Amino acid sequence: MEKVLVFGHKNPDTDTITSAIVYAHLKNATGIEAEAVRLGELNNETKFALEKFGFEAPRLIGNVSTEAKKVILVDHNEKQQSADGIEEVQVTEVIDHHRIANFETAEPLYYRAEPVGCTATILNKIFKEKGVEIPANIAGLMLSAIVSDTLLFKSPTCTEEDVAAARELEKNAGVNVEEYGLAMLKAGADLSDKSLEDLLSQDAKEFGMGDYKVVIAQVNAVDVNDVMDRQGELEELINREIQEKELDLFFFVVTDILNNDSVALALGKVALRAEAAFGVKFENNTALLKGVVSRKKQVVPALTEALV
Amino acid sequence: MEKVLVFGHKNPDTDTITSAIVYAHLKNATGIEAEAVRLGELNNETKFALEKFGFEAPRLIGNVSTEAKKVILVDHNEKQQSADGIEEVQVTEVIDHHRIANFETAEPLYYRAEPVGCTATILNKIFKEKGVEIPANIAGLMLSAIVSDTLLFKSPTCTEEDVAAARELEKNAGVNVEEYGLAMLKAGADLSDKSLEDLLSQDAKEFGMGDYKVVIAQVNAVDVNDVMDRQGELEELINREIQEKELDLFFFVVTDILNNDSVALALGKVALRAEAAFGVKFENNTALLKGVVSRKKQVVPALTEALV
């Protein structure tokens, strides 16, 4: 049987990378040859997690159709967030926690989505259902994913199931989640070695909202001024991207991981709609979004409501 | 909390009706108020199963947006097969065993699809995962669904998991599956009280294949000649439907449940493509399709391959 590739979305984050590694491990443990791969560069948070639990980065791939016939998607389903060439291969499984859109198959498949904060929380269930034990280092990766996606349980996307899964995995992995988790988030929020191009692209996702083409990029920071002090250069880069990709809105969110607020920078021809979306005034293209930390649960629904 | 409605596809079959009843039972057992409803008339097979295990038909609904805000889909996901008004309501869950297409949500949801022969086989797992016991009469409905969708394990859609689930449910329901199953299939294949309009519509599904609009209708029969003796009248009705719905192909499949073959009647401007699809010559618009019993696994892929 030919090897199946397992991967998450473009501009990978910790849940996407670790879930690919974890699910490939589970498939291999149940006798199905699988390899975790990635669609982009690792961020500092993910590097920290992989190093802590002794894993190498998955292999980077380009167009997937030259690599495999069958693939498994984790942590995403929308084709514009997936590998180039995705329409040429058969998606045999999806494990995800996002809305379903721009996704279609010719054949029946295994699709497992649950409205929880993190893919790892679903994977934790699947291990139990299959009766496969979770090794300590794999538990550590899963715990890292939950910490990352829920901002240490503080995001409104976090559910009771995520917290319960994290408590189980914490014991198994042999770390203190609060201590390890904050260290990992801080590693991710260390932006000192990042170019502005990196900041704009490392966690950028594209969305169709009605007829509008929107990119929402997010970075975590310990001090948002580390980023916002360079607003002029940022705007230059963003405006270039708006032109190249014909975007209607580029929404850049810098999230303060200690205070759990975000500062947003909105550019593009419908940028001012963000005022109605969040009920705040944007001055000099920016605004403080109090209590906003989740793209999925807070930013995407608010912008969709305002734009569609 | 407002009641959630649970339903299967239009032109309901036994899996769609019973899975709605069964899953509504499971939701109620876990403290979520749910009602099974249906989108069309029951066929004789489904009536036989409901009567055997002491159930009433679910309530018939029209446009779903006047009935509920939240719905759960079983045994389907494509919107053209779902309730009118489906785009106005929130789909909170899907339990299905078909390909995914023409399906999109704004919010994350619980989506559970597995490539097995029958929705009931997936439901059987979910009962176990939730630790909810299956009452004997509910087990009887689930068994009926598996028998129906797999033609008593003879369809190529039938998996080992379907057989294993049926063996468990058989004990619980207190029936002999071979004996009960054949009686149920024969009840469904009793076409004596059916008008030709009924035959064409009772299990008809519409598919987009490339740019072509295709309807594939299927009926089970003990003697296919009971149906095919009236080919002239059938063609008149089908041609009217092709015109009204602007179809490119109407493919009518009469399946012999004792010999596990089918006779097909193909009409529409791309009807002759069915020759390449099945490697047979159609004479007088009809052909015997040896060993073909499954729309999902045999008819849809073959026609898609020939048309797209």
Single-letter amino acid code for the residue at A136: A
Domain edges within chain A: 4-189, 196-307
Q: Partners of A90 in the beta sheet? A: A70
Provide the pLDDT for residue A296: 87
- Give me B157's structure tokens: 């859609």
Non-local CB neighbours of B167 within 8 Å, separated by 6+ positions: B177
Single-letter amino acid code for the residue at A112: R
Q: What is the mean pLDDT of residues A197-223?
A: 92
- Band (A297; pLDDT cuts 50, 70, 90): confident
Provide the pLDDT for residue B208: 87
Q: How far apart are alpha carbons A134 and A230 in whole angstroms?
A: 44
Distance from CA of A92 to the nearest CA of B (A): 9
Least confidently predicted of A168-182, B189-203, B259-273: B189-203
Average pLDDT, chain A: 95
Please provide residue B212's backbone torsions phi and psi, each rounded to the nearest 5 degrees.
Answer: -95, 145
Nearest CA in chain B to A119: B108
Q: Partners of B205 in the beta sheet? A: B216
User: What is the distance of C-alpha A58 from the center of its chain?
Assistant: 16
> How many CB atoms lie under 10 A from the CB of residue A207?
22
Q: Partners of B212 in the beta sheet? A: B209
Provide the pLDDT for residue B192: 82
Do the strands A212-221 and B212-221 form a parallel or antiparallel pair, or are they unpaired?
unpaired
Considering only residues A240 and B102, tell me which one the structure prediction assigns the higher pLDDT. A240
> In b/e form, how buried is each residue of B225-262, taking b as 16+ CB within 10 angstroms?
ebbeeebeebbebbeebbeeeebbbbbbbbbbbeeebb
Q: How far apart are alpha carbons A221 and A191 in whole angstroms?
A: 7
**Minimal Cβ distance to B110: which of A110, A114, A296:** A114
Res A1 pLDDT > 70: no
Provide the pLDDT for residue A29: 97
Interchain proximity A100–B99, CB inside 8 Å? no
| pTM of the full structure | 0.88
To test the contact with chain A by mutation, choose from B15, B111, B119, B126 the residue with the greatest count of A C-beta atoms within 10 A, namely B111
Pick the CATH number of B196-307 from 3.40.50.2020, 3.30.70.1340, 3.10.310.20, 3.40.1190.20: 3.10.310.20
Angle among Cα A162, A164, A166 to the nearest 5 degrees reads 70
Interchain proximity A115–B115, CB inside 8 Å? no
Res B131 pLDDT > 70: yes
Report which secondary-structure segment, H or E, holds A266.
Answer: strand A261-267
Res A185 pLDDT > 80: yes
> How many CB atoms lie under 10 A from the CB of residue A231?
16
Q: How far apart are alpha carbons B125 and B123 in whole angstroms?
A: 5
Q: By the 8 A CB rule, do B70 and B89 touch?
A: yes
ipTM of the complex, rounded to two decimals: 0.86
Q: How far apart are alpha carbons B183 and B257 in whole angstroms?
A: 11
Under 8 Å CB pairs connecting chains A and B tally to: 71
Nearest CA in chain A to B103: A101
Q: How far apart are alpha carbons A183 and B70 in whole angstroms?
A: 41
Provide the pLDDT for residue B1: 59
- Give me A32's structure tokens: 């199905």
Please provide residue A242's backbone torsions phi and psi, each rounded to the nearest 5 degrees.
Answer: -60, -40
Res A190 pLDDT > 90: no
Non-local CB neighbours of B188 within 8 Å, separated by 6+ positions: B14, B43, B44, B45, B46, B48, B148, B220
- The helix/strand count (H/E) of chain B reads as 11, 11
The pLDDT tens digits of the residues spanning B40-82 come to 999 999 999 999 999 999 999 999 999 999 999 999 999 989 9
- Give me A258's structure tokens: 């200690």
Task: Kindly calculate the radius of gyration of chain B based on its CA atoms and give it in whole angstroms.
Answer: 19
Helices (H), chain A: 14-29, 44-52, 119-130, 136-150, 160-173, 177-189, 196-201, 225-228, 231-245, 273-278, 300-307
Q: How far apart are alpha carbons A221 and A223 in whole angstroms?
A: 5
Res B197 pLDDT > 80: yes
Q: Partners of B283 in the beta sheet? A: B286
Question: Which regions of chain B does DSSP assign to beta strands (E)?
Answer: 4-7, 34-38, 59-60, 70-74, 90-96, 110-113, 204-209, 212-221, 249-256, 261-267, 286-289
Q: A4-189 in CATH: which number? A: 3.90.1640.10
- Give me A14's structure tokens: 């910790």
What letter does residue B58 receive in the DSSP assignment? P
To test the contact with chain B by mutation, choose from A92, A93, A100 the residue with the greatest count of B C-beta atoms within 10 A, namely A100
The pLDDT tens digits of the residues spanning B93-117 come to 999 999 999 899 988 999 999 999 9
